[in-house]
Amino acid sequence: MEEISALLGGFAVAITPYNMMLMVVGIVLGVIIGVLPGLGGANGVAILLPLTFSMEPTSAIIMLSSIYWGALFGGAITAILFNIPGEPWSVATTFDGHPMAMRGKADEALVGAFTSSFVGAIFAVILITFLAPMIAKFALRFGPAEFFAVQFLTFASFLGMGRGSPFKTLASMCLGFALASVGLDGVTGTLRLTFGHEELLNGFKFLVAVIGLFGIGEILSSMEEGLSFRGAHAKLKMDAVIRTWRQLPRMTFTFLRSCIVGCWMGITPGGATPASFMGYGLAKRFSKNGRNFGKGELEGVVAPETAAHAAGTSALLPMLTLGIPGSPTAAVLLGGLLIWGLQPGPLMFVEQKEFVWGLIASMYMGNLVGLVLVLTCVPFFAAILRVPFSIIAPVIVVICAIGAYTVNNAMFDVWMMLVFGVMGYLFTKLGYPLPPLVLALVLGDQAESSFRQAMLSSQGDVTVFWSNWLCGGIMTLGLVLAFWPLVQTVLEKWRGGAVATPA
């Protein structure tokens, strides 16, 4: 096959001792960046960009994309250990990752998260290797109506997940939507719900809310239950990798499902954060262990991590072939490509063959090197939990404050983080589920704009969502998922009836 020979050529470009060294440096930096919520992958890439001007473009992009892989790996660490999502796409990882850590299984959760990141990323890279041109064309079919359909599907896959009161779930979700609508309305350029306060111009940012709701909320609950950090007494065993890997084969379907969801969301481009929620939601619904999700189930870590990384990786494809970045980090990488005189776009695979295949080869290598690096560090990460609580607790508050501040460089957000913290504590105690709130917050804005863009182009005609097979198909799938519990009971009744009638 033509691709394989091109890829082998790419490996020849990528695997030089110098490039391998850059890869390791990039990944280590990336992990650090991913761990601290104050530093996003975009920061790291942007800051190192000037340093790479003296390098060959291929070496430079290898180092910069390695930061990206490192940050993808690193986001899970604080999510699992302290319930603070280091990156937006690690929010869903906290749902089961942190309960696992509290049950003394932090090392298994970390190994599970890193391994699934690797699997998701590799799946996406294989897809990029063989199907890039075809997929690029497919992404072009997505207009506002199709975007809304995908966002609707993400939501539908997550609906009806709470065990608690449906009215509390509803209230929590609506609050998320309401918070998402604060600030400038992108479609008409009018200010909503700001009441003349300049601080509110920017709206409530997702990351500020999750740092408060999850990170600060968790600290408050831990304090309430006494001065100890649950899970602190985890015994450190060195066989965590083997122990965890042994459990993974029975999750093959979860892996596969999340890989497909992730690639789909990365290419369309829905983004890594919605992908992680969708992966988690679908796994919860269709896995045999689904009922135990939220209590510390390894599968609940595997599902969102695999999806997030498949999405994060496949998001590089639209960037290379269409020139639209799938994430802020990808946007800065894109800026870097332009400075080196590489023009991402339809001709990139034709004109800069060597560079593109070198990059793809480095994706394989970068993820493999990254996996080895982070797995060797698992005992070290898990050991952080043994630091006395009276040191860890204020340090977590400081890390949260820095993280919240850097989202918009505003002290106002740090205050909001404290408010969200109290909210997170109260909501958890009173049985208001948090996941619908954060999902509404992350998707509300986008879904509303897509819906209204679609309405603008169809002159207010709602049937636009069923105007072609792609959009209509996704919408219908979304409706089926939303009403799945209902469908299930009907199916069971029907089946029961079918058995009963002949008798």
Question: CA angle 421-423-426, nearest 5°?
Answer: 110
Q: Which DSSP symbol is given to 199?
A: G
Cβ 144 to other proteins, closest distance in Å? Answer: 7
Smaller CB separation from other proteins, 33 or 303? 33
**Residue 275 CA: distances (Å) to CA of 52, 59, 219:** 31, 30, 28
Burial (CB count within 10 angstroms: exposed 0-12, middle 13-18, buried 19+), residue 85 = buried
Smaller CB separation from other proteins, 173 or 282? 173
Residue 162: phi and psi, rounded to 5, are -70, 145
Cβ 67 to other proteins, closest distance in Å? Answer: 11
Smaller CB separation from other proteins, 197 or 493? 197
State the Cα–Cα distance between residues 471 and 121, nearest whole angstrom: 27
Smaller CB separation from other proteins, 16 or 343? 343
Residue 323: phi and psi, rounded to 5, are 80, 10
Cβ 457 to other proteins, closest distance in Å? Answer: 6
Cβ 479 to other proteins, closest distance in Å? Answer: 19
Smaller CB separation from other proteins, 383 or 422? 422
Cβ 145 to other proteins, closest distance in Å? Answer: 9
Cβ 217 to other proteins, closest distance in Å? Answer: 11
**DSSP characters over 469-488:** HHHHHHHHHHHHHHTHHHHH
Burial (CB count within 10 angstroms: exposed 0-12, middle 13-18, buried 19+), residue 263 = buried
Tokens of 251: 């999750």
Q: How far is CA 473 from the centre of its chain?
A: 24
Cβ 289 to other proteins, closest distance in Å? Answer: 29
Cβ 427 to other proteins, closest distance in Å? Answer: 8
429-447: buried (b, 16+ CB within 10 Å) or exposed (e) per residue? Answer: eeebbbbbbbbbbbbbbbb
State the Cα–Cα distance between residues 120 and 420, nearest whole angstrom: 32
Q: Which helix (H) or strand (E) holds 69?
A: helix 57-82
State the Cα–Cα distance between residues 76 and 309, nearest whole angstrom: 11
Cβ 312 to other proteins, closest distance in Å? Answer: 16
Smaller CB separation from other proteins, 115 or 222? 222
Smaller CB separation from other proteins, 368 or 383? 383
State the Cα–Cα distance between residues 333 and 339, nearest whole angstrom: 10
Q: Helices (H), strands (E): how many in the chain?
A: 24, 2
Three-state DSSP class for residue 192: strand
Q: Which residue has the tokens 């696992």?
A: 100
Cβ 233 to other proteins, closest distance in Å? Answer: 11
Q: Which helix (H) or strand (E) holds 24?
A: helix 17-35
Smaller CB separation from other proteins, 36 or 303? 36
Residue 387: phi and psi, rounded to 5, are -65, 135
Smaller CB separation from other proteins, 282 or 482? 482
Q: Which residue has the tokens 């460089």?
A: 409
Cβ 21 to other proteins, closest distance in Å? Answer: 19
State the Cα–Cα distance between residues 361 and 62, nearest whole angstrom: 9
Smaller CB separation from other proteins, 335 or 496? 335
Cβ 484 to other proteins, closest distance in Å? Answer: 21
Smaller CB separation from other proteins, 193 or 368? 193
State the Cα–Cα distance between residues 164 and 481, nearest whole angstrom: 19
Smaller CB separation from other proteins, 195 or 469? 195
Q: Using an 8 Å Cβ cutoff, are 118 and 446 in contact?
A: no
* Residue 256 β-bridge partners: none
